[in-house]
Chain A
Amino acid sequence: MINAVGRDIPEEVMAATGRDIFRGTYVNDNKEYTKAAPTVRAVCDPKRSKMVASIREAIEKCGLKDGSTVSFHHHFREGDYIVNMVMTEIHEMGLKDITVCASSLGKAHDAIVPFIEDGTITSIYSSGVRGKIGEAISNGKLKNIAVMYSHGGRVRAIEEGRIHIDAAFIGAPTADEYGNLRANGGKSNCGVLSYAYADAQYADKVVAITDTLVPFPNIPASISMVNVDYVCVVDEIGNPNKIATGAAKPTTDLRKLLMAQYCTDFVVAAPYYKDGFVYQTGVGGASIASTIYLAEKMRKDNIHMSLGLGGIATPMVRLMEEGLIGKLVDTQDFDLGAVESIQAHPDRHIEITGSEYANPMNKGAYVNKLDYVILAALEVDTHFNCNVITDSTGLITGAQGGHPDTAAGAKCTIVISPLVQGRSPAVCTDVTTVTTPGETVDVVITDYGIAVNPARPDLMEAAKNCGAPLYTIEELRDIAYSIVGEPRKIKFGEKVVGIVEARDGTIIDVVRQMQEYVFDD
């Protein structure tokens, strides 16, 4: 069936995954539904300890069996040890058909690929996958179809009961023996535990894994003892150097600076640039540079941001400290500056849950209050659809993260990408994989100039006045093709190896198995 972004979703994939096709970003507005609920094993006896001696003991006490679903968060980013530790134990116990429901998976988890190949893991839900897991999925090694959801979409799936977690394994920088978990004060601080919150609330069993056991009470807790069954102490939960790195040096790449300049010029010219605006940006070179340019304008114009949202890095922290940003509302910390800030400024730098951030099916998430979001993309097409998941060979190599969530929520969604990436046109006729629907993308900013979605004639005036060269999206594509040519369509195999889930749980696109390239004679 053809969905709202023109992708043909095979009916057998709809049947196999039990999902409808994507019918538009806002079709569920006003829909009523009943949330799922976990099965709770009560702790009435004050003498009972929650401490377990090992991850093995925790798994046994959780009663995990073949076919169970386990969940993980990705706040330790590329420094995470939890997923590998738990999955290795599960593998050694001989369990099969396990579903891994992660907020995201990365190169740190290459070690679980053999467990995919031997049938220990047969389903994966994740925001995205990089490294060897991506290759394994793209090459058809995972038994069931992988599901890639957004950060908001994941919380929705858990709250709706679409995914039922048997046991959540929550890496916690600090924990007390009764299961109050904090993201700071330990050896491997990650600042916040936002994405683990839904797991703690909705999983039947919750296991806290820490390398720093602290005296009771470990509060204010990101995750409360009322949701935690067991506490397990291990030597190391992660590699601190890869969890929170030093602040990235501002880029000196003029191409990125040029895009940042165009971006800022547009933001300032657009109607939402006024005192109290709400803003989110990423941590790429151009995004950080545009934050720096924007700050210069804000100082000059005496305009303040009421709220900076989402993943936080040092440049946004500095602006808050300077008084240019009122509050930082945080779901993930990208560097040490952000981790330190959330401890130093408890009144202004606030941790929120994944649901508060981006769940499309609660009673209103923070993303809905965004004036601007600045995003990157691997590809944008002439329908303004974006791809942030598959690379130029069709390999799964990225993650949705909050891309579709913030795009859907923001009044003005800006996507920055160099017009040509290596030998590939970043602006094209049809993206390889749709992750973010074009109806939610308003402006594309490239090193050549900018294009405005014709569905947003109200932004046209700003685009004309901002000083950046203005093109139609088709013109940008034509320039890109004139430089590197129009790429031939990637030849995939027939088998669908993954679906890209829209925020509401419908199928926005599928990813097919890679096919070895054969040269034409």
Chain B
Amino acid sequence: MIDESKKKRLRRSMLFLNCQKPSLIRDPYVYKPDSIMLDLEDAVAENQKDAARFSLYHALQEINYRGVERVVRINGIDTPHWQEDIRVCVAGGCDVIRIPKCTCANDVAIVEEAVYNAEKEFGKEEGSVLLMAALESCLGVINAFEICKSSERLIGVALSGGDYTKDLQTHITFTGIELAGARQQMIIAARAAGVQCFDTVFTNLDDMEGFEAETEMIKLMGFDGKSLVNPRQIPVVHKVFTPTKKEIITAEKIVREIDTKKALGIGVFTVDGKMIDIAFYDGAKRTLMLAKAAGVYEGDLV
């Protein structure tokens, strides 16, 4: 059984951590990310995959990550590593497996079958491990919608800007122009399929202003969160993605008013001088849910 609340949880920040480095994976929860992404793929040298799996397994088993979601990026299904990676992820009890270089729905199906088999092998409940797909190629981006719909386990899709821009025959410009199409395509596909959508990393750590501007842009585009390469980026993302006090108060009013007005048979009315109808209801609810998940709203409207 898929746990829907687990699937739809708050994922503003997803911090990449190299499984090869115990000092990194020991206690990243002190930085309070929503999710961590323990990497078995590109950060781990080819001849160290086994050692990284070993430390991953023990980290998953021994460390109490205090509510931080544990995503593992496995090696691609075109490598000799991915099946063993999946066995270790499932046996260790991670929350989500991130499938790299996903190009089509069938890639997800292949991983899902291996996860299912591993769940049986290690006596885990079916559906205990969720999936997410990283789109790193033009093919993956063009197939975004079928990938988003490919599995019950799929929490969402993430853009991997580095590989994608290579495939596009350009490079990261920090203007966003090269990623505009992919971002737009992916967020529309994700929303149409009812899953989440995560933006690519921002690698220039000296440009915190540029990072904040990019985060604000992808938030306005509709993204749920962003992959991060350094803990310093976490507070910035959380600031951008957490509703302000004013937004929360307005959302509360809208939800309350719509609930009361509905009972009175009124469809359209004004809140603080703005016209409000039922179309605003879900958005306001979402703001409150986001605020509650972020720990800044303690009311009972969601």
A: residues with CB less than 8 A from B are 252, 254-255, 257-258, 420, 447-448, 482-483
Contact check, B30 vs A483: say whether CB atoms are below 8 A apart: no
Contact check, B232 vs A252: say whether CB atoms are below 8 A apart: yes
In angstroms, Cα B63 to Cα A420, docked, is: 14
In angstroms, Cα B30 to Cα A252, docked, is: 16
The digit string for B198-209, where 1 denotes a CB below 8 A from any CB of A, is 000000010000
Q: Is B27 an interface residue (CB 8 A)?
A: yes
In angstroms, Cα B231 to Cα A519, docked, is: 39
In angstroms, Cα B26 to Cα A258, docked, is: 17
Contact check, A258 vs B64: say whether CB atoms are below 8 A apart: no
A447: chain B residues within 8 A (beta carbon): 27, 30
Q: Is B31 an interface residue (CB 8 A)?
A: yes
The digit string for B15-36, where 1 denotes a CB below 8 A from any CB of A, is 0000000000011001100000
The digit string for B202-239, where 1 denotes a CB below 8 A from any CB of A, is 00010000000000000000000000001110100000
Contact check, A254 vs B232: say whether CB atoms are below 8 A apart: yes
In angstroms, Cα B27 to Cα A290, docked, is: 22
In angstroms, Cα B31 to Cα A447, docked, is: 9
CB-based closest 4 A-B pairs: A254-B231, A447-B30, A254-B232, A254-B31
Closest Cβ neighbor of B23 among chain A residues: A422
In angstroms, Cα B64 to Cα A42, docked, is: 72
In angstroms, Cα B63 to Cα A257, docked, is: 23
In angstroms, Cα B26 to Cα A252, docked, is: 19
B64: chain A residues within 8 A (beta carbon): 482
Contact check, B27 vs A483: say whether CB atoms are below 8 A apart: yes
Query: What's the least CB distance linking A215 to chain B, in Å?
Result: 49
B: residues with CB less than 8 A from A are 26-27, 30-31, 63-64, 205, 230-232, 234
Can you name 22 A-B pairs with beta carbons within 8 Å?
A252-B205, A252-B232, A254-B31, A254-B230, A254-B231, A254-B232, A254-B234, A255-B30, A255-B31, A255-B231, A257-B232, A258-B30, A258-B31, A420-B26, A420-B27, A447-B27, A447-B30, A448-B30, A482-B64, A483-B26, A483-B27, A483-B63
B230: chain A residues within 8 A (beta carbon): 254
Query: What's the least CB distance linking A221 to chain B, in Å?
Result: 46
A254: chain B residues within 8 A (beta carbon): 31, 230-232, 234
In angstroms, Cα B229 to Cα A14, docked, is: 56
Query: What's the least CB distance linking B99 to chain A, in Å?
Result: 29
In angstroms, Cα B232 to Cα A258, docked, is: 10
Beyond the given pairs A255-B30, A483-B26, 12 more chain A to chain B contacts, judged by CB atoms under 8 angstroms and listed by A's residue number, are A252-B205, A252-B232, A254-B31, A254-B231, A255-B31, A255-B231, A257-B232, A258-B31, A420-B26, A420-B27, A447-B30, A482-B64
Query: What's the least CB distance linking A424 to chain B, in Å?
Result: 13
In angstroms, Cα B292 to Cα A462, docked, is: 25
In angstroms, Cα B30 to Cα A447, docked, is: 7
In angstroms, Cα B27 to Cα A154, docked, is: 41
Most B Cβ at <10 Å: residue of A254, A255, A448, A483: A254
Closest Cβ neighbor of B232 among chain A residues: A254
In angstroms, Cα B27 to Cα A258, docked, is: 14
A252: chain B residues within 8 A (beta carbon): 205, 232
Closest Cβ neighbor of B230 among chain A residues: A254
Query: What's the least CB distance linking A431 to chain B, in Å?
Result: 22
Query: What's the least CB distance linking B26 to chain A, in Å?
Result: 7
Query: What's the least CB distance linking B242 to chain A, in Å?
Result: 15
Query: What's the least CB distance linking B272 to chain A, in Å?
Result: 29
Query: What's the least CB distance linking B106 to chain A, in Å?
Result: 40
Query: What's the least CB distance linking A374 to chain B, in Å?
Result: 20
Query: What's the least CB distance linking A448 to chain B, in Å?
Result: 6
A448: chain B residues within 8 A (beta carbon): 30
A258: chain B residues within 8 A (beta carbon): 30-31
Query: What's the least CB distance linking B2 to chain A, in Å?
Result: 31
Most A Cβ at <10 Å: residue of B27, B31, B63: B27
B27: chain A residues within 8 A (beta carbon): 420, 447, 483
Closest Cβ neighbor of B27 among chain A residues: A483
In angstroms, Cα B101 to Cα A477, docked, is: 43
B30: chain A residues within 8 A (beta carbon): 255, 258, 447-448
B26: chain A residues within 8 A (beta carbon): 420, 483
Closest Cβ neighbor of A446 among chain B residues: B30
In angstroms, Cα B31 to Cα A396, docked, is: 33
Query: What's the least CB distance linking A18 to chain B, in Å?
Result: 46
Closest Cβ neighbor of B205 among chain A residues: A252
Closest Cβ neighbor of B63 among chain A residues: A483
In angstroms, Cα B12 to Cα A184, docked, is: 54
A255: chain B residues within 8 A (beta carbon): 30-31, 231
B31: chain A residues within 8 A (beta carbon): 254-255, 258
In angstroms, Cα B234 to Cα A420, docked, is: 22
In angstroms, Cα B63 to Cα A247, docked, is: 38
Closest Cβ neighbor of A258 among chain B residues: B30
Closest Cβ neighbor of B234 among chain A residues: A254
In angstroms, Cα B235 to Cα A257, docked, is: 12
In angstroms, Cα B230 to Cα A184, docked, is: 43
Query: What's the least CB distance linking B25 to chain A, in Å?
Result: 12
Closest Cβ neighbor of B206 among chain A residues: A252
Closest Cβ neighbor of B31 among chain A residues: A254
Closest Cβ neighbor of B29 among chain A residues: A448
In angstroms, Cα B231 to Cα A257, docked, is: 11
Query: What's the least CB distance linking A432 to chain B, in Å?
Result: 22
Closest Cβ neighbor of B30 among chain A residues: A447
In angstroms, Cα B31 to Cα A252, docked, is: 13
In angstroms, Cα B59 to Cα A483, docked, is: 10
B231: chain A residues within 8 A (beta carbon): 254-255
Query: What's the least CB distance linking B219 to chain A, in Å?
Result: 22
Query: What's the least CB distance linking A45 to chain B, in Å?
Result: 66
Query: What's the least CB distance linking A285 to chain B, in Å?
Result: 14
Query: What's the least CB distance linking B238 to chain A, in Å?
Result: 13
Query: What's the least CB distance linking B66 to chain A, in Å?
Result: 10
A482: chain B residues within 8 A (beta carbon): 64
Query: What's the least CB distance linking A486 to chain B, in Å?
Result: 15
B234: chain A residues within 8 A (beta carbon): 254
In angstroms, Cα B231 to Cα A482, docked, is: 23
Closest Cβ neighbor of B208 among chain A residues: A252
Closest Cβ neighbor of A261 among chain B residues: B235
In angstroms, Cα B29 to Cα A258, docked, is: 12
In angstroms, Cα B205 to Cα A482, docked, is: 32
In angstroms, Cα B31 to Cα A483, docked, is: 16
A420: chain B residues within 8 A (beta carbon): 26-27
Closest Cβ neighbor of B235 among chain A residues: A254
Closest Cβ neighbor of A448 among chain B residues: B30
Most A Cβ at <10 Å: residue of B27, B30, B31, B63: B30
In angstroms, Cα B232 to Cα A72, docked, is: 44
Closest Cβ neighbor of A422 among chain B residues: B23
Query: What's the least CB distance linking B163 to chain A, in Å?
Result: 27
In angstroms, Cα B26 to Cα A483, docked, is: 8
In angstroms, Cα B63 to Cα A482, docked, is: 9
